[in-house]
Chain A
Amino acid sequence: MKSIRVKCLFWAIVLLISMIAGGVARAADSLPVQMQLIWATNEPKSPDPKHKPVEADVAKLLENTPYRWKYYYEVHRRVEDVPGDRSLEKIVMSKHCALDIKYLGNHSGLERVQVKLYGDDKLVSMHKETLPLLLAGNAQNGTAWFVLIRKAPPGAKADEAKTN
């Protein structure tokens, strides 16, 4: 009888540890995400000296889309650890642009997110998509804006540039 009690206690502890581990794993389920606000133009120089040309891999990614401009400038960059149990709200990309983002988990090797896009504090759209995700639209004078959301590369950091 004593042996049965000891065994039951042992397996109860194993079960408890497994459930706690599962809960911790779920709670810790988050994804480092890099978000870049990009301005696309055919002008060779940005009027804002703080703007810097996007990195080569980002330029290549943008050039492979149907909408092409000659130059792409990074306006602002954010790197956030996006949780899976709640939305990371109001990530300000510029004075006119903000995002809510939530990590929906890995699906067949692809990271899924839910993104809410705000323009001038008004909800523009909601997306559930896999990463990388590029939201885009027209801007003034034949230019365009892009918000590139992708899994943060190792060592990625947010820039210190002042937001527009």
Chain B
Amino acid sequence: MNEEAQFKLQAYLDGELPAGESAGVQEWLARDPEARALLAELQNTNAALAGHEAEVKLPETRDFFWSKIEREIGRQSVAATAPSRKSFWARWGWRGLVPAGGFAAVCLLALHLANPGAASAEFVPELELASDDMGAYTYRNQEDGLTMIWLYDRSSAAQSAQSSTPAILASK
């Protein structure tokens, strides 16, 4: 006897079958001794449990109890079908961190390429004179941020302060 037949017999015993199916079971019992034996065993088991089953009293009415179950089932099914609303960090936090870091690195690289002098070492002014005969004084006015470089001819400077080397304003 298969499991489905056993369940059907249990349902017959509990009075859960519709009238048509119940009649069919009765016919089956009439011709099948194995079914009758199982039914007898089930009846004995029921009888044995009948006096010892603990009685459970619900703290609320039966209708209210079942309505609570119904509401809970409804709530869970809604929660299962509704799209999950995760926080921004739960959705993008770690997943976005690596590409965001990469993007930041690329931006820094681009900034460095755009302004290579910004991150370089201390700027050192340079001065090169085209001739050894030339000399230069450098004066820095911190207040105005001005750098002044006075160019002069060494030989002429020794002779006269009014010489004109280099010839920048020769017509004067």
Contact = CB atoms under 8 A, between A and B. Distances in A.
Contacts of B51: none
Interface string B73-111: 000000000000000000000000001001100110111
Interface stretch (B9-17, B54-62, B137-145): B137-145
Contact of B168 (A14, A108, A123, A139): A139
A67 B148 CA distance: 10
A147 interface: yes
Contact of B148 (A14, A65, A141, A143): A65
A107 interface: yes
A18 B103 CA distance: 8
Given A61-B146, A134-B147, A139 B164 contact: yes
Contacts of A130: 123, 125, 145, 147
B150 A67 contact: yes
A65 B168 contact: no
Contact of B151 (A15, A95, A110, A125): A125
Contact of A138 (B125, B128, B162): B162
A22 B110 contact: yes
Interface residues of B, number: 48
Nearest to A150: B146
Interface in B145-169: 145-152, 161-169
A94 B166 CA distance: 13
A96 B130 contact: no
A145 B130 contact: no
Given A64-B141, A65-B139, A130-B125, A125 B170 contact: no
A104 B115 CA distance: 9
B149 A126 contact: no
A140 B172 contact: yes
Interface of B: 99, 102-103, 106-107, 109-111, 113-118, 120, 123, 125-130, 134, 136, 139, 141, 143-152, 161-172
22 contacts: A11-B99, A14-B106, A21-B110, A22-B113, A25-B115, A67-B150, A105-B117, A106-B118, A117-B166, A119-B167, A124-B129, A125-B134, A125-B136, A127-B149, A134-B146, A134-B147, A134-B148, A135-B148, A135-B151, A138-B161, A145-B172, A147-B168
